Chains A and B, each alone.
Chain A
């Protein structure tokens, strides 16, 4: 069921929003994800931990482990690409929001939606090339991964990362992750992170804050 909304507050937000020209927030430090495509066993514990933390009914999924497979019997391959909201440097969702409910945190670049301002128009859902925003029909709002801001603010890591049985999903300072200087179990010492894999939209669109240890068949040439 949809919550009661403060209409006056929303109207004011729309007015304020209209006056602004969107300039992407440049965070002091951008947090981002790293996922190892090969070593991931695809168990989806991260997905369930997320659904439990966020109290989601069946339907909306903030995190999705995509199964990729190919080849012909018996020369086959399979790997996983695990994504939630990528907390992009230039989020496509943000400028589409008519009420300004979507915001990017200055501190760590996390993109979040203020549910008290969301009117459920679902424009952000259409704008995101990664399918991150999820419509919650019972509440008539769009919601998505906020990297467990409450956990981040408490000095911990998000539920999905803490759930990973194989330690192949992690977060960190995205610049250092890209440079390969961030200490993480998601990557072995001989592995190098990449900013894109097949099976995802061109990262130039929104500059997502995610890197992968790519499967040989997932490498983008």
Chain B
């Protein structure tokens, strides 16, 4: 309807440029045949009319609808859609008007505006992009060749349901791999999620599901926080940062990645209050610059060693808070060891004696640490002194340094420092970690015993290994989660993959290995609103409506105390359906009314065509029975819908573990204490029977990673590659938006001294390779990164040339699919070599649409 009433081509043309026009026409006509490289067969061109922008339409000519952004990001901000008819002509953001007692310009400390970032502001380009998936498509070429034809919903779902039944019958209940992720569908109702989303429940009910348990972004810190604190709720709400006197940003770049609505802004207020900032990072990031930090460059993957050196300084100078340790910690020193520890297979050591070198004869002095991490011992001591003597001080141990070989040890070591200085449970301190803080009511979709039913569960980055080596796979190689029944230890025979809100094929490690593995599968289904790099490897593409085209409520993941209403802003584009509609219809097709009604109890089969009333019923029920019943909210659902945003006012800043420290409540660990010595790990004897697969010390320890700048392999591959999150994409989302491509470039950041040796300058193109793959990217030469370290942001859309070289510059062709015992992905444990190249870098599929970024960098 939208396409006929308002000219979608015109909008898209206006937002992109004229050169893409023909491509749009073909996809919109449904006759598009797209090759992996983005080459298009052109259909007959059709004239498109430009949309008038001048004079600007005034408020009374436009309809204003409050909604939010929605992509795989920890934050959520307000987007206000201004539409003409059924077309969004521009977006604005929170200006203080859309809340209770709001008015234009209202922006207080307690209820700050929720202003969208550059990614959120570019949503129209994503919504109306050339890569928007509008119709169900079926593969016609070889898998991965990228050739599809338009098919009907009936054909698409008929095929998928038939294949599902066939595969389950033939290969059993572990044959379908759930690779859902938080990609495009994060809301209380339409939720894509690795563990408990709509897909997981659907496959669980169907009775065929292998789950992927390790979370790519932060499994190191999740496991660490569960061991140490018994929970992942170790976070403060972001306004608490404004009370800190010292903030140590360990691998943390809040200028790029967000949690909560205003973390970066509250930190600015902390700075105005006199807070000092330190950045421990191989890069001098924009956060480093904006918060005027003391930058301590550190070799990647050596963070736990530096922290051990700090702990040594603090212990030996008696700067630790012994009273706090005695009262709240277990295993920090000999005095806090439990009696049972001596008789366990793995729990005999305490942390302080490890640091002092009692067990291995190596004292973990700042000088010892300096040899490993490259930070001068004097700086390690200075930072340790600052942290131990400034109260309150926040050591924010970010996720990135945990995406390493043995990344969990870094997070546990950080928790030990936070505990020994008594900075846990106090305002201005910090126990993060994961950073989950205020508890939101996050579930409006049906939730029952099937929410996370699985028949096998593996480490997420081991699926390719499992597929390629089946059945000669040991359970510890794939991190098989134990089961309490006879199927314990059975290796899943994976024959199909579902992607819902997930571009994992582009985003997991060692893509070349994935490419080998996917060829062995019998069914690959991709559900997305965009044709993604993963989608090109699918058999069936199912078009999913974006959050502008369905009803939902938005919330941030882990912190930020607010809800944003997400009405259906426009009608679904093309033939797109919500993922909830698709699963409901599949359930009806596979199991008739029994499965259909069980999966979606409020709906009949008509839901596939008419979903508004049912969605409204789920959301209203969630608001009235959860939000109003549990969270002290008195605002009626109708008023929330009218306003758009609900911002909670907390009577005091939310600080993790305040209750434990102030009122003596038990921690959720087996001992009720902060477990520097983990009870769970202490008792483990046979590691192969655990999901970890191999030995983990029961206290935080420095463990040499399998690749680093201290490794002999540097003779062949002298550079350590890190792959942080970019600012102009959310992982791979938005990679096709030319506005964002214009602001930042996919590039390889390298120190000026290294560049000199290699004979490259900014503007040159380099190839970066190791034994796993090769990518081609432009180079950015700077003093802001440590020598020996190179940076390529993750999430670029892969574009393989005929020799298997990725011209798009996706660093996951170089990463290793070898997770840490605790499940941390090794995204930042990569050695590479670099040379100048004549090969061309392709910044996007559609080369004509790219204006190469003008980054406007200047060196003084």
Contact of B121 among A49, A150, A199 (CB under 8 A): A49
Give the residues in chain B near A122, CB-CB below 8 Å: none
Question: In the complex, A95 Cα to B751 Cα: how many Å?
Answer: 46
Question: In the complex, A71 Cα to B284 Cα: how many Å?
Answer: 12
Known contacts A44-B743, A58-B851, A138-B17: does B107 contact A77 (CB below 8 Å)?
Answer: no
Give the residues in chain B near A51, CB-CB below 8 Å: 122, 739
B651 within 8 A of A: no
Give the residues in chain B near A58, CB-CB below 8 Å: 16-17, 738-739, 741-742, 849-851
CB–CB A154/B59 < 8 A? yes
A198 within 8 A of B: yes
Known contacts A45-B121, A55-B53: does B90 contact A73 (CB below 8 Å)?
Answer: no
Question: In the complex, A58 Cα to B784 Cα: how many Å?
Answer: 28
Known contacts A48-B118, A165-B264: does B92 contact A43 (CB below 8 Å)?
Answer: no
A115 within 8 A of B: yes
Q: Interface majority SS on B: helix, strand, loop or mixed?
A: mixed
CB–CB B851/A59 < 8 A? yes
User: Distance in Å from the Cβ of B249 to the closest Cβ of chain A?
Assistant: 13
A78 within 8 A of B: yes
Chain B residues 271-312 with CB under 8 Å of chain A are 271-272, 284, 286-290, 292, 295, 297
Which of A10-18, A156-164, A171-179 lines the interface with chain B? A156-164
User: Distance in Å from the Cβ of A76 to the closest Cβ of chain B?
Assistant: 5
Q: Hey, what's the 0/1 contact readout for B86-102 against A, CB within 8 Å counting as 1?
A: 00011111010000000
CB–CB B268/A166 < 8 A? yes
Question: In the complex, A69 Cα to B741 Cα: how many Å?
Answer: 21
Determine the residue in chain A with the shortest Cβ distance to B269: A188
Q: Hey, what's the 0/1 contact readout for B104-124 against A, CB within 8 Å counting as 1?
A: 100100000001111011101
Known contacts A42-B286, A159-B92: does B59 contact A48 (CB below 8 Å)?
Answer: no
User: Distance in Å from the Cβ of B41 to the closest Cβ of chain A?
Assistant: 24
Contact of A67 among B55, B107, B855 (CB under 8 A): B855
CB–CB B14/A70 < 8 A? no
Question: In the complex, A144 Cα to B290 Cα: how many Å?
Answer: 28
Give the residues in chain A near B786, CB-CB below 8 Å: 73-74
User: Distance in Å from the Cβ of B797 to the closest Cβ of chain A?
Assistant: 17
Question: In the complex, A186 Cα to B110 Cα: how many Å?
Answer: 18
Give the residues in chain B near A45, CB-CB below 8 Å: 115-118, 120-121
CB–CB B295/A43 < 8 A? no
User: Distance in Å from the Cβ of B689 to the closest Cβ of chain A?
Assistant: 47
Chain A residues 47-71 with CB under 8 Å of chain B are 47-49, 51-55, 57-59, 61, 64-71
Question: In the complex, A76 Cα to B287 Cα: how many Å?
Answer: 13
Question: In the complex, A73 Cα to B751 Cα: how many Å?
Answer: 8
Question: In the complex, A73 Cα to B201 Cα: how many Å?
Answer: 52
| Number of chain A residues whose Cβ lies closer than 8 Å to a Cβ of chain B | 55
User: Distance in Å from the Cβ of B30 to the closest Cβ of chain A?
Assistant: 25
CB–CB B58/A73 < 8 A? no
A41 within 8 A of B: yes
CB–CB B95/A156 < 8 A? yes
Give the residues in chain A near B857, CB-CB below 8 Å: 66-69
CB–CB A55/B290 < 8 A? no
CB–CB A61/B290 < 8 A? no
A106 within 8 A of B: no
CB–CB B95/A162 < 8 A? yes
Give the residues in chain A near B59, CB-CB below 8 Å: 154
Give the residues in chain A near B800, CB-CB below 8 Å: none
User: Distance in Å from the Cβ of A81 to the closest Cβ of chain B?
Assistant: 9
Question: In the complex, A66 Cα to B738 Cα: how many Å?
Answer: 19
Determine the residue in chain B with the shortest Cβ distance to A155: B104
CB–CB A43/B860 < 8 A? no
| Inter-chain CB contacts under 8 Å: number | 172
Question: In the complex, A50 Cα to B371 Cα: how many Å?
Answer: 49
CB–CB B849/A78 < 8 A? no
Known contacts A42-B255, A52-B90: does B54 contact A198 (CB below 8 Å)?
Answer: no
CB–CB A167/B265 < 8 A? yes
Q: Hey, what's the 0/1 contact readout for A140-161 against B, CB within 8 Å counting as 1?
A: 0000000000100011100100
Residue of B262, B272, B289, B727 most packed against chain A (CB within 10 A): B289
CB–CB A69/B124 < 8 A? no
Contact of B58 among A48, A70, A154 (CB under 8 A): A154
Contact of B56 among A70, A71, A150, A167 (CB under 8 A): A150
User: Distance in Å from the Cβ of A79 to the closest Cβ of chain B?
Assistant: 6
Give the residues in chain B near A64, CB-CB below 8 Å: 856
B469 within 8 A of A: no
Give the residues in chain A near B262, CB-CB below 8 Å: 165
Q: How many B residues touch the partner, as a band? A: 35 or more
CB–CB B297/A73 < 8 A? yes
CB–CB A199/B290 < 8 A? no
A128 within 8 A of B: no
User: Distance in Å from the Cβ of A90 to the closest Cβ of chain B?
Assistant: 25
User: Distance in Å from the Cβ of B259 to the closest Cβ of chain A?
Assistant: 14
User: Distance in Å from the Cβ of B76 to the closest Cβ of chain A?
Assistant: 13
Give the residues in chain B near A55, CB-CB below 8 Å: 14-15, 51, 53, 89-90
Question: In the complex, A188 Cα to B272 Cα: how many Å?
Answer: 7
A217 within 8 A of B: yes
CB–CB B783/A71 < 8 A? yes
Question: In the complex, A199 Cα to B860 Cα: how many Å?
Answer: 8
Known contacts A48-B121, A167-B265: does B289 contact A61 (CB below 8 Å)?
Answer: no
CB–CB A38/B17 < 8 A? no
Determine the residue in chain B with the shortest Cβ distance to A216: B292
A72 within 8 A of B: yes
CB–CB B743/A73 < 8 A? no
Q: Hey, what's the 0/1 contact readout for B48-83 against A, CB within 8 Å counting as 1?
A: 001101111011000000000000000000000000
Give the residues in chain A near B164, CB-CB below 8 Å: none
A21 within 8 A of B: no
User: Distance in Å from the Cβ of B446 to the closest Cβ of chain A?
Assistant: 36
CB–CB B17/A67 < 8 A? no
Known contacts A68-B860, A76-B784: does B290 contact A52 (CB below 8 Å)?
Answer: no
Determine the residue in chain A with the shortest Cβ distance to B857: A67
Determine the residue in chain A with the shortest Cβ distance to B14: A55
Contact of A69 among B118, B121, B784, B787 (CB under 8 A): B784
Known contacts A73-B787, A163-B93, A165-B264: does B118 contact A43 (CB below 8 Å)?
Answer: yes
CB–CB B284/A78 < 8 A? yes
CB–CB A70/B51 < 8 A? no
CB–CB A69/B740 < 8 A? no
Residue of A40, A65, A69 most packed against chain B (CB within 10 A): A69
Give the residues in chain B near A1, CB-CB below 8 Å: 18, 50
Known contacts A45-B115, A162-B93, A166-B268: does B849 contact A69 (CB below 8 Å)?
Answer: no
Question: In the complex, A64 Cα to B265 Cα: how many Å?
Answer: 21
Give the residues in chain B near A138, CB-CB below 8 Å: 17-18, 50
User: Distance in Å from the Cβ of A200 to the closest Cβ of chain B?
Assistant: 11
CB–CB A70/B92 < 8 A? no
CB–CB A52/B95 < 8 A? no
Contact of A47 among B14, B289, B743, B787 (CB under 8 A): B743
Known contacts A42-B255, A165-B265, A217-B860: does B122 contact A48 (CB below 8 Å)?
Answer: yes
Question: In the complex, A68 Cα to B785 Cα: how many Å?
Answer: 15
User: Distance in Å from the Cβ of B843 to the closest Cβ of chain A?
Assistant: 11
User: Distance in Å from the Cβ of B785 to the closest Cβ of chain A?
Assistant: 8
User: Distance in Å from the Cβ of B122 to the closest Cβ of chain A?
Assistant: 5
Chain A residues 78-105 with CB under 8 Å of chain B are 78-79
Q: Which 10 pairs between the two chains have the least Cβ-Cβ distance?
A: A70-B860, A41-B255, A58-B851, A78-B289, A58-B738, A48-B121, A55-B53, A150-B56, A66-B856, A57-B17
Return 29 A-B CB contacts under 8 Å, by A number. Answer: A39-B271, A40-B290, A42-B286, A43-B286, A45-B115, A45-B121, A48-B743, A51-B122, A52-B739, A53-B90, A53-B92, A57-B18, A67-B857, A69-B783, A69-B784, A73-B752, A73-B753, A76-B295, A150-B58, A154-B58, A154-B59, A156-B95, A162-B95, A163-B121, A164-B115, A165-B264, A167-B265, A188-B272, A198-B860
Taking A39-B290, A43-B727, A74-B295 as given, write out 11 further A-B residue pairs in contact, using a Cβ cutoff of 8 Å, ordered by the A residue number. Answer: A44-B118, A45-B115, A49-B91, A52-B91, A52-B122, A58-B850, A59-B742, A67-B858, A74-B786, A76-B295, A185-B107
